[in-house]
Amino acid sequence: MPRLLLIPAIISASFVILIIMFVIQKGASPFLFSRYGDQKVSFIRFMMGQTWFIPPNEYGILYIVINTVYVVSLAAIISSPIAIFSGLFIAKIVPKIFKNLFQTVVELLAAIPSIIYGVFGLGVITKFVVRIASLGGIQTAGGISGMATVLVLAVMIYPTITLMSVTAINTVDHDLEKASLALGATKIQTLFKVTLASAKPGIITGIVLGLGRALGEATAVSMVAGNAGSGPVFDLFKTTRTLTSTMLLGFKETSGLDYDIRFSVGVVLIFIIIAFNILLGHFKKKAGRFA
Amino acid sequence: MKTNRHRLDKIYLSLISFISLFGVVILVLVFAYIFNKGTRLLSWNLIVGDYYPEVYNARSDGVIGENMFVRPENLSENAWFSAKWGIALEDNADFEGKNYIKVVYIDKNSPLANMPDKNDTNHMVGLKKGHSLDKVIFTNNVIVLSREGAQNAILLFDEAEGIADIIFSKPGNGIRGSLITTGYLILFTLIIALPLGIFTAIYLNEFANPGRWYVKWLRRLVETLTGVPSIIYGLFGAALFIPFISSITSSEGGNILTGALTLSVMVLPIVISATEDALKAIPDDFRHASLALGANRSQTTFKIVLRAAIPGILSGVLLSIGRIIGESAALIYAVGTAIKDKIILTEKSTSLSVFIWSVMSGENPNFELAASVAIIIMIFVLLLNLGIKIISSKFIFKHN
C-alpha cells in the first residue's frame, strides 16, 4: 500500500518540474527557431531591451523587469508598515470583542479575487489618481498609471502581510512581554521593542509572501498598468508595463511569435521569483538570528 | 515624566488603531463600489439570460378591435399601456445610458404575442416581457423608433391599423453560460485534484518516512507549488494541456477541460495542505486504538484516520472552490476569453471571473455588468468563507 501511494505523491511533486520545463521549452523557442517566417529573436537584445517590440522580431524586456521591481517595491513600502501596525492592532491592541471582526475583515480582503480588485482599481483607484494628478496639473491616461498599479498592489498584499503578522505576533511568548512590562516599559515600548522584535522572522515571511503575490499578480495589474512601449518608467503618473501585464494585455491569438514570446516573459518572471525567494530566504535567516 | 510617557503611549496607540482601520476602509470601499455600480443590473434575467442579444424581425396580420384589452392593475406608473394592442411599454436605459423601450407587459391574446417571422413566415415569433422594442413600421407608414420613448410609441400604436414591420430583441448580457462553465470547472477540477491531493497527503503524513531524502524532496516540491503565480499555471496549461486535449479530442485551442486540468494543478497544494493539517490534528490514540483492535495500517488509515479527517478535507474543498471561482489569469491562457451561451466541454467558454475580464477589456469597459457579476462572485466568496469558519470552529480536531 505505501508503495502504491508513492505514485500520486510523485505525480503531485512532479508538477513543479513540469511547469518549469514546459514554460521554458516554449519560452526558449523564439530564440532558437525561426518558425514564423521571421528571423530568430535575439536573446541578448531581449534581455537588454528598452523597447518592448520593434517589428518584425525584436523584443526587449529589461525595462519591464525594472518597472515591475519598481512598482512592487513601492507597493511593499506603502503596504508593509500599515499591515504590520494592523497585525499589532489585531493581535494586541483591539478589545477582545472586536478582535474577530477585524480578523474577519482582513480574511475577507484576502479572499477577494484579483479580478474584483481590478474592477475596483479601474473604477475607483484610477479616478483617485486622476484627482491627485489634477492637483498638480498633471495629465494622466485616465488614471492608468504606475501609481494606480502601486496602489492596487498595496491593497492586494495588505491582507497577506497582516495575517502573517498576526500569526507571528500571536506566537510571541507572553512571558517576554510581561517581563518587559514588569521592568517598567510602557505598552508601546513593549510592543515595539519586545513583541515586534520577536515576531520579526514571521513578519518578514509575510512580506516575502506579499511580494511574491505582487510579482505574480496579473489580472488586476493588467487592468490599471497600461502598456508603455518603452522605458523604464519611473514617473508614477505615466502608464507603465509589468511582466504580468505584458503577458495578459492584447492576448488574442494562440499561435505566432507574439504568443510564444509571452512564454519567454513568463520564464523571466519565474526566474525573478526564484531569485527573489533565495535572496529573502537568506535575509530571513539573518533576521531570525538577530531577533 | 511618567505621565508624559503614558500620554505619548496613548497617542501612539490611537495612531496605530487609526492606521489599522485601513483594511476596514478598503473593504467598505470595494463593497460600496461594486454594490453601487452593480445592483441596477442584478436581476433574475442576468442570471438565467444569454449573453448575446437575439434580434427578431416580424410583421403582424392581426386584426385589432378598439380597446379590447384591460390595463392590468399591478403595472407601474411609468408604464404606458395600449388597450388596442394589449401591451405596456416603459422607458429604460442600458448600461451605456442609451434609452430603449422595454416591454413590461403583454397580454397573451395580443396580436403582437404571435407574429410570423419575416425571414421565415412559417415560423412564429412573439414579443415577450423583457424584450426591447427597437423599431416598428405601421401600415400607415408611421415609424416608431426606440429613442423617441415609450409614450410616443403607445400613441402611435393606438393610431395604427396594422404592422408592416416590427424589430425587437431579447436583451443580452446574461451570465447563464458563464455560471454553467464555472460549475463545470469546479466539478472537473475537484474530480482530478481531490483524489490526487488526498492520496499525496496520506502518503506524506501516514506512510512516508520523513527522514528519507526523497520524501524531503517530494514535500519540498509540493510546497513550491504554492508559490507559483496563477499566470504561470496558465502558461503551463497552454503549453501542456491544450496540445494534449487537442490530440485526444476534436477540440482546437483552449477549452473547459484544459481549464479544469490547469486549475486542478493549481488547487493541488491547497487540497494537500488542508488534508495534511487535518491528518496531523488527529490524535495518535485513534491510530493506536485501531491497530490494537487488529486492523492493519491501510485499514486504519482509510477507515479510521481518513474518516476523522473529512471535515478538514471539506474545508480544503471549499478553499479550492473559492480559488476556482476567483481565478482569471490562468484561465485566460488555458481556456480563452470568448463568452459562450452554449456550453460544450471541448470548446472555449468563460468562468464568471473571466467573464468580467472579457467585458472590461474591450473598447468600452462595461463597469455595471462587471460589478453585477462581481456581486455574485462576492456572495459565493462570503458563503464559502462562512462555511470554512463553521467547519473549523465546530468539526476539526484542535491541536492541544
Looking at the complex, report in whole angstroms how far the Cα of residue A15 sits from the nearest Cα belonging to chain B: 7
Do the Cβ atoms of A116 and B329 come within 8 Å?
Answer: no
Q: Is residue B342 part of a domain?
A: yes
**Residue A263 amino acid letter:** F
Nearest CA in chain A to B27: A109
> How big is chain A, counted in residues?
291
CB distance from B218 to chain A under 8 Å? yes
pLDDT in tens, A9-41: 999 999 999 999 999 999 999 898 887 777 788
Chain A residues within 8 A of B202 when measuring between CB atoms: 5
Asked if B185 and B114 sit in the same domain, the reply is no
Asked if B85 and B130 sit in the same domain, the reply is yes
Do the Cβ atoms of A116 and B378 come within 8 Å?
Answer: yes
CB B231 within 8 A of CB A266: yes
Do the Cβ atoms of B328 and A244 come within 8 Å?
Answer: no
Asked if B251 and B322 sit in the same domain, the reply is yes
Chain B residues within 8 A of A109 when measuring between CB atoms: 23, 26-27
pLDDT for B125: 83
Q: How far apart are CA B179 and CA B212, in angstroms?
A: 46
Looking at the complex, report in whole angstroms how far the Cα of residue B14 sits from the nearest Cα belonging to chain A: 10
Do the Cβ atoms of A105 and B328 come within 8 Å?
Answer: no
- How many other β-carbons are positioned within 10 Å of the β-carbon of residue A182? 10
Best B3, B10, B17, B200 residue to mutate vs chain A (most A CBs within 10 Å): B200
Do the Cβ atoms of B231 and A159 come within 8 Å?
Answer: no
Option in B222, B230, B361 nearest A13 (CB): B222
pLDDT band at B127 (very low <50, low <70, confident <90, very high): confident
Domain spans of chain A? 2-289
CB A68 within 8 A of CB A242: yes
Chain A residues within 8 A of B385 when measuring between CB atoms: 107-108, 111
Mean pLDDT for chain B overall: 88
Mean pLDDT of B316-343: 93
* Residue ending a domain, choose from B148, B170, B192: B170
Q: Would you say residue B374 has pLDDT above 70?
A: yes
pLDDT for B400: 41
Q: How many domains does chain B have?
A: 2
Chain B residues within 8 A of A266 when measuring between CB atoms: 231-232, 235
pLDDT in tens, B25-71: 999 999 999 999 999 888 888 888 888 888 888 877 666 666 678 88
Asked if B105 and B189 sit in the same domain, the reply is no
pLDDT band at A291 (very low <50, low <70, confident <90, very high): very low
Mean pLDDT for chain A overall: 90
Asked if B373 and B292 sit in the same domain, the reply is yes
CB B76 within 8 A of CB B125: no
Chain A residues within 8 A of B230 when measuring between CB atoms: 216, 218
pLDDT for B168: 86
* Residue ending a domain, choose from B115, B150, B170: B170
What's the maximum distance between 2 C-alpha atoms anywhere in chain B?
98
Chain A residues within 8 A of B5 when measuring between CB atoms: 186
Predicted ipTM of the assembly: 0.93
Chain A residues within 8 A of B326 when measuring between CB atoms: 111-116
CB B345 within 8 A of CB B247: no
CB distance from B243 to chain A under 8 Å? no
Best A17, A18, A19, A160 residue to mutate vs chain B (most B CBs within 10 Å): A19
Q: ∠ at Cα B229 (B225, B235), nearest 5°?
A: 95
Asked if B235 and B290 sit in the same domain, the reply is yes
Q: Which of the two residues, B196 and B111, has the higher pLDDT score?
A: B196
Chain B residues within 8 A of A108 when measuring between CB atoms: 27, 381-382, 385
Q: How far apart are CA A168 and CA A86, in angstroms?
A: 13
Do the Cβ atoms of B221 and A17 come within 8 Å?
Answer: yes
pLDDT in tens, A70-90: 999 999 999 999 999 999 999
Q: How far apart are CA A153 and CA B377, in angstroms?
A: 21
Asked if B354 and B241 sit in the same domain, the reply is yes
Q: Is residue B75 part of a domain?
A: yes
Do the Cβ atoms of B229 and A109 come within 8 Å?
Answer: no
The least confident of A33-42, A67-76, A110-119, A156-165 is A33-42
Domain that holds residue B66: 55-170
pLDDT in tens, A120-154: 999 999 999 999 999 988 888 888 999 999 999 99
CATH number of A2-289: 1.10.3720.10
pLDDT for A166: 95
Looking at the complex, report in whole angstroms how far the Cα of residue A45 sits from the nearest Cα belonging to chain B: 23
CATH number at B335 reads 1.10.3720.10
Chain A residues within 8 A of B235 when measuring between CB atoms: 22-23, 26-27, 247, 262-263, 266
Asked if B94 and B186 sit in the same domain, the reply is no
Percent of chain B whose pLDDT exceeds 70 = 95
Nearest CA in chain A to B242: A254
State pTM to two decimals.
Answer: 0.89
CATH number at B61 reads 2.30.42
Asked if B262 and B377 sit in the same domain, the reply is yes
Asked if B201 and B344 sit in the same domain, the reply is yes
Q: Is residue B43 part of a domain?
A: no
- How many other β-carbons are positioned within 10 Å of the β-carbon of residue B210? 9
Mean pLDDT of B370-390: 94
CB distance from B202 to chain A under 8 Å? yes
Asked if B334 and B245 sit in the same domain, the reply is yes
Do the Cβ atoms of A18 and B236 come within 8 Å?
Answer: yes
Do the Cβ atoms of B20 and A219 come within 8 Å?
Answer: no
Q: Which of the two residues, A97 and B142, has the higher pLDDT score?
A: A97
Do the Cβ atoms of B26 and A247 come within 8 Å?
Answer: no
Inter-chain contacts counted by CB atoms under 8 A, chains A and B: 237
Q: Which residues contact B76 (CB under 8 A, 6 or more apart)?
A: B90, B104
Q: Tell me which residue of B263, B261, B242, B256 sits closest to B180, measured CA to CA.
A: B256
Do the Cβ atoms of B239 and A212 come within 8 Å?
Answer: no
Q: Is residue B364 part of a domain?
A: yes
Asked if B166 and B194 sit in the same domain, the reply is no
Mean pLDDT of B74-88: 83
Q: Tell me which residue of A156, A147, A144 sits closest to A79, measured CA to CA.
A: A156
Mean pLDDT of B180-203: 96
Peptide bond into A232 cis (omega under 30): yes
* Residue ending a domain, choose from B117, B138, B170: B170
